[in-house]
Each structure stands twice: as C-alpha cells, then as structure tokens.
C-alpha cells in the first residue's frame, strides 16, 4: 500500500529551468565552451547546489521546530556551542562559514537541542550578513521559547575577504546578539562570554 501523504500540500518538484539558464550564461561569459564534456551538466548541477545553499527561504519555522518545546523548571544557562554553519554573503554571494554558540536562560520551557542547529541553518541558508544572521537566530529562539534571555556568538571566515578583495587569510569575524536579560545583566553576559570557546585563527 502506498505511504499516506503527511499533508495535503502539493509536492512541487523544482525544474531549475531559470537558474540553469542563468548559470549557462554566466559560464559562457567567461569564454568557456559549454559543450565540452566537463561542463555539459555544470549549469544544472550549479543550479541545484545554489537551491540547496538558499533553501532557508523555503523552510517554515513550525516545520523546523516541530513542537519540540518541553516544560522544564531549569532556569539556568543552557549553552549549545560549536554549531557549524555555511552561509553566503549577500554582497558577493561567496561563502562565509564558521560556528555559532547559543546560550539562553529558560523560563519554564526548553527547546529540543537539535532545533538550535536547525534554526541556525534555516537562516544561514540564505543571502546574509553575519550580524543579521546572529540577530535573526537570537530573536527566533526568544520567540519560540519565551526565554528570559538569549545570547548568540558567531565566529566566521569570509571567502570574499580571503579569495579576493583584501585577500586576508587569517582574519575572522565575531558577531554577537543579545536579547532579554542579557541586555542589562552584566553577570549573565560574563557567564556566557566566559563559557564560549575562544576562536582560533582561520588557518
């Protein structure tokens, strides 16, 4: 018997037509021969890869969280650290990647641990700048859990600073977003910042 569909939402199979054509034009603009064997499937491959890297636009928070919010009396710091992420900078569409560290102070309920990573990915898989990515993750955790405070630190290396432009191989960027009690409570801020791993140079 066929598996029962999970919802009545129609399954849309993307055909990547427009993005494949865009990649064809982009490759042609280099003077390359699109018919040579190595490149024949490259436009569709690149289109599929780009769709993957930007899939966060098509995810819903409800699906990502999947009701994994659980009652708890624990109100102390929960720190989920070293969540690796890959994103694309919105200025050059080149990758930036690194790790996110998320701390929060629960207020009667806690979020399933994997959901922190899923929320990071949902916002990272878009065209982004690192500062906004950090804020969006923090705000979403606050909205979903109703926590007392949330702090996000992200350490990342930006390919647009490494492969081109200023060509700096060792520079990394730390962005921070703090909400709720973390805004004014220096003791809570310091507890979180002391617990966050120190960032190593990119190489």
Ligand X SMILES: Nc1nc2c(ncn2[C@@H]2O[C@H](COP(=O)(O)OP(=O)(O)OP(=O)(O)O)[C@@H](O)[C@H]2O)c(=O)[nH]1
Q: Write out the residues near ligand X by the rule CB under 6 A.
A: 89, 91, 129-131, 158, 160-161, 165-166
Tell me whether residue 101 is annotated as binding: no
Cβ at position 197, least distance to ligand X in Å = 21
Tell me whether residue 160 is annotated as binding: yes
**Which residues, numbered 138-167, are part of the site for Zn ion (CB under 5 A)?**
160
Q: How far is CA 63 from CA 51, 71, 84, 115, 201, in A?
A: 19, 20, 21, 10, 36
92 belongs to the binding site for Zn ion (CB under 5 A): yes
Q: Judged by CB, which is closer to ligand X: 11, or 166?
A: 166
Within 10 angstroms of residue 162's Cβ, the number of other Cβ atoms is 19
> Containing H/E element for 102?
strand 95-105
* Nearest CA-CA partner of 156 in 121, 92, 201: 201
Of all residues in this chain, which one has the CB nearest to ligand X in the complex? 165
Cβ at position 147, least distance to Zn ion in Å = 32
Tell me whether residue 147 is annotated as binding: no
Residues 78 and 103: beta-carbon distance below 8 Å: yes
Say how many residues touch Zn ion, by CB under 5 A.
4
Binds Zn ion by CB under 5 A, chosen from 47, 89, 133, 188? 89
DSSP annotation of 160 reads H
Strands of 43-94, DSSP E: 69-71, 78-89
- Contact residues for Zn ion (CB under 5 A)? 89, 91-92, 160
């Amino acid at each position: 018997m066929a598996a029962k569909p999970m919802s009545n939402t129609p399954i849309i199979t993307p055909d990547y037509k427009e993005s494949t054509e865009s990649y064809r034009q982009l490759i042609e603009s280099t003077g390359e021969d699109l018919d040579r064997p190595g490149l024949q499937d490259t436009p569709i491959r690149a289109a599929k890869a780009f769709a993957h890297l930007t899939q966060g636009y098509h995810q819903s928070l409800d699906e990502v969280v999947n009701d994994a919010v659980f009652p708890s009396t624990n109100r102390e710091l929960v720190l989920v650290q070293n969540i690796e992420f890959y994103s694309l900078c919105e200025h050059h569409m080149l990758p930036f990647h690194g790790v996110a560290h998320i701390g929060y102070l629960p207020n009667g309920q806690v979020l399933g641990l994997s959901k922190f990573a899923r929320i990071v990915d949902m916002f990272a898989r878009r065209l982004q700048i690192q500062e906004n990515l950090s804020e969006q993750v923090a705000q979403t955790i606050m909205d979903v859990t109703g926590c007392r405070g949330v702090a996000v630190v992200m350490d990342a290396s930006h390919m647009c600073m490494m492969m081109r432009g200023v060509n700096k191989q060792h520079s990394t960027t730390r962005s921070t977003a703090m909400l709720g009690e973390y805004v004014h409570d220096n003791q809570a801020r310091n507890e979180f910042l002391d617990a966050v791993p120190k960032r190593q140079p990119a190489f």
